[in-house]
Amino acid sequence: MELPLIAASCTFLVVIMLGTALYLYIERREVLAVWRRRVEGHEESFAEGQPSENFRDAIQAQLQTVLEWFAKWNQPSNAEEAKATRRLLVTAGYRSRKAPIFYIGSRLLLAVALVALFAMIPAKFLGFPSSTTLVFYYFLLAACGYYAPTIWLKHLIAERQDALQRAIPDALDLMVVCVEAGLGLDQAIARVGQEVGQGHPALGDELNVLSQELRTGVQRQTALRNLAHRTDLEEVRNLVALLVQTDRFGTSIGQALRVHSDSMRTARRLKAEEVAAKLPVKLLFPLMFFIFPSMFIVTVGPACIKIVKILFPAMTGQ
């Protein structure tokens, strides 16, 4: 049996053994915890052989502990950096107090994990690289692992903001209907948050948070500005400015929302037309470098081969 096959088999067996040991360890801890609570009188009912939490919850708890430990070694250098990290997570929809800990810990954990996995690869498979090359690979993998969560988070923010942009005109139409039906602005926001959440979960979530802030006694202007701060969208900031002005000057909210909704739909249509107008330019280079050469080879290639077969013997005197 060849050495690579032996190494792969040993690695597979080690991974299986570690996974089994981790499963048995977590299962044992959960069962002991349930029995301990039962003995102390904190558990009223207990199904024999059934732990209080399933295996997935136990894995999440262990992962949370690991991330918290790694987060201790990767704390933000100052308050401004911590505030910026918190703002990014809130914009992406993660409002839990532990979200910054998980995010910061995952950056360091992923960097260490990639370097450790690369170090487990036998040098024979890598062609016995020099120490300088190995150090370069280590730094590259560590950088990729450290910045991968940030790239993923910014991708989530872009997707969420795009979903909010698509949902705002529909939500404004519903809000106009609610306001013109006699509901107040606070009640209209709560109702629209419930209705629009079925088709647009991101906007429904933001409106529900806004409604909860209004119910807890936060001033309307402050709650609206918090909404603009959380979403970090120009469309939402314009909407918040409109609602603040109508509330301050006592103008018709329904009419203002209707005009704003029409303007947003017009802007969305113009943006779609702009994207469509850019398509010919974007398709030019793929056509020139991929499609046209293939078509040229298919159409002219056989003729060129036939011409070469006829003219080459005549030119060489054969």
In a domain, 16, yes or no: yes
Using CA atoms, how far apart are residues 233 and 177, in angstroms rounded to an integer? 24
The encoded tokens of residue 218 equal 């936060």
In a domain, 176, yes or no: yes
Using CA atoms, how far apart are residues 54 and 268, in angstroms rounded to an integer? 46
The encoded tokens of residue 124 equal 């024979």
- pLDDT tens per residue, the chain (318 residues)? 444 445 455 555 555 655 555 555 565 565 556 556 655 554 444 444 444 456 566 666 767 677 677 777 777 777 888 888 889 999 988 888 888 888 888 888 888 888 888 888 877 777 777 888 888 888 998 899 889 999 999 999 999 999 998 888 889 889 989 988 888 888 999 999 998 888 889 999 999 999 999 999 889 889 999 999 999 888 889 889 988 888 888 788 888 888 888 888 888 888 889 989 988 888 888 888 888 888 888 888 888 888 888 877 766 665
The encoded tokens of residue 127 equal 């062609």
Q: Specify the pLDDT at position 12.
A: 55
Q: How many structural domains does the chain have?
A: 2
In DSSP notation, 250-297 reads T--HHHHHHHHHHHHHHHHHHHHHHHHHHHHHHHHHHIIIIIHHHHHH
Q: Specify the pLDDT at position 16.
A: 60
In a domain, 238, yes or no: yes
Of 225, 242, 269, the last residue of a domain is: 269
Which residue bears the tokens 């950088």? 143
Sign of the Cα pseudo-torsion (14, 16, 22, 25, in order): negative
**DSSP secondary-structure letter at 77?**
S
In a domain, 128, yes or no: no
Q: Specify the pLDDT at position 140.
A: 92
Domain that holds residue 23: 1-53
H or E stretch covering 69: helix 55-71
In a domain, 287, yes or no: no
The encoded tokens of residue 12 equal 């597979």
In a domain, 245, yes or no: yes
Using CA atoms, how far apart are residues 243 and 247, in angstroms rounded to an integer? 6
Note whether 133 and 168 are within 8 A (CB): no
Overall size of the chain counted in residues = 318
**DSSP secondary-structure letter at 78?**
S
Three-state DSSP state, 92: coil
In a domain, 285, yes or no: no
In a domain, 155, yes or no: no
